[in-house]
Amino acid sequence: MKKLLFLILIFIIGCAHGVQKGDSTYHFAVKIPKGWWQLETDKYFLITKDNPYLQYALIQERPIDKAFQHTKKKLERGMLPQEAADVILDEIGADINVLNFELIENTPATIDGHEGFRILFTYQDKNGSTFKTLYYGFIKGNIFYNLRYTAAKRHYFQKDLKTFESFLDSFRLIKSQAT
């Protein structure tokens, strides 16, 4: 978490709202909620309203053959959403920064018409703060797309949940570039 925060602060580029078009970096388009800041890291498309420690939404395009950091499991082309969710849950569970992980929900979901999964969980960081994450994921070709919303469990998660849902609804793969 601290590493992520550090990256975020380093690459902070300012405030943006409107429509983020897919470009050479990303193969998707998404509408950034009004008043949210777009932060750029080399790994994610990430936005926040106040600061990432309070809430953030991110989108990641991850090649499925890229090794995970905490487990030796792999995502594969043709995997069922449930199988992909299990791989992700194992990876999250093995992460040092995720303490007292508690899975609340793991269900199928559709993201921009693609069959995927939706997982909801809480965890604590090393400072004892509790966070809640809503994590959507799906595999398209050789890319695993994931869209996450993480916020301080108390107060912030519920407060910005609807905004994240709108953000999620606006997500579109750009067909010409999506593999």
Could you list the residues that contact other proteins (CB under 8 A)?
Answer: 69-74, 76, 78, 80-83, 90, 93-96, 99-100, 106-108
Residue nearer to other proteins on the CB measure, 38 or 124:
124
Quick one: which of 134, 137, 87 has its CA closest to 110? Answer: 137
The least distance separating other proteins from the CB of residue 151, rounded to whole angstroms, comes to: 22
Contacts 24+ apart (CB under 8 A), 43-48: 43/7, 45/20, 46/8, 47/167, 48/8
Q: Between residues 82 and 166, which has the closer beta carbon with respect to other proteins?
A: 82
**Which element (helix H / strand E) includes 168?**
helix 156-169
Nearer of residues 40 and 83 to other proteins, judged by Cβ? 83
Q: How far is the CB of 177 from other proteins (least distance, A)?
A: 28
What's the min distance (Å) between Cβ of 105 and other proteins? 9
Q: 11: number of CA atoms within 13 Å, CB side?
A: 17
